[in-house]
Amino acid sequence: MRTGPLFFALIIIILSLFLFGCQQEPVSIESITLSNDIAEDFAPVDPTDEFDAGTSIVYISIMVINMTPEDKLTVTWNYLETGEELNTTDFSTDETGSGYIGFNIKVDQGFPSGDYNVRIYLNNELYETVGFLVK
């Protein structure tokens, strides 16, 4: 049996498809949801972007895809009426995977009325800003 350049080219193409096909896609965010609560898997429960004055806790669920130990998710909660940054929390993982990541902010005496936002950073780059209202 004679092997020629066509045979070797075919082997190279097959190996390339196998090697490149096995690479994992980069981390991405599928959804960001504010809510009144979160489930055990951190999925949002009772989604909303309007909360009653006196609410003491606000949740945000972020669905990430292909997060690795090299990735970092950061949320920063802001009260726009005063320009005050209320809280910043970082999240990283020891294992590669996908799923909901839940964050919350608690104000014991309840949130004052006004406009707020949450800035979501993926690997130190601003991904999205989500606003909410306490009325």
Q: Residue ranges of the domains in the chain?
A: 24-134
* CATH of region 24-134, choose from 2.70.50.60, 2.30.30.30, 3.30.460.80, 3.40.50.1000: 2.70.50.60
Per-residue pLDDT band for 19 (boundaries 50, 70, 90) equals very low
**Residue 7, pLDDT score:** 53
Q: Report how far residue 106's alpha carbon sits from residue 103's, in angstroms, rounded to the nearest whole number.
A: 10
103 CB-near residues (< 8 Å, 6+ apart): 59, 60, 62, 75, 89, 91
Instruction: Look at residue 23 and tell me whether its pLDDT is greater than 70.
Output: no
Per-residue pLDDT band for 21 (boundaries 50, 70, 90) equals very low
CB 53 within 8 A of CB 134: yes
**Residue 11, pLDDT score:** 56
Q: Report how far residue 71's alpha carbon sits from residue 93's, in angstroms, rounded to the nearest whole number.
A: 8
Per-residue pLDDT band for 17 (boundaries 50, 70, 90) equals very low
Q: Report how far residue 3's alpha carbon sits from residue 26's, in angstroms, rounded to the nearest whole number.
A: 39
| pTM as predicted | 0.81
Instruction: Look at residue 14 and tell me whether its pLDDT is greater than 70.
Output: no
Bridge pairing between strands 125-134 and 114-122: antiparallel
100 CB-near residues (< 8 Å, 6+ apart): 38, 41, 42, 43, 44, 61, 62, 63, 64
Amino acid letter, 25: E
**Residue 68, pLDDT score:** 95
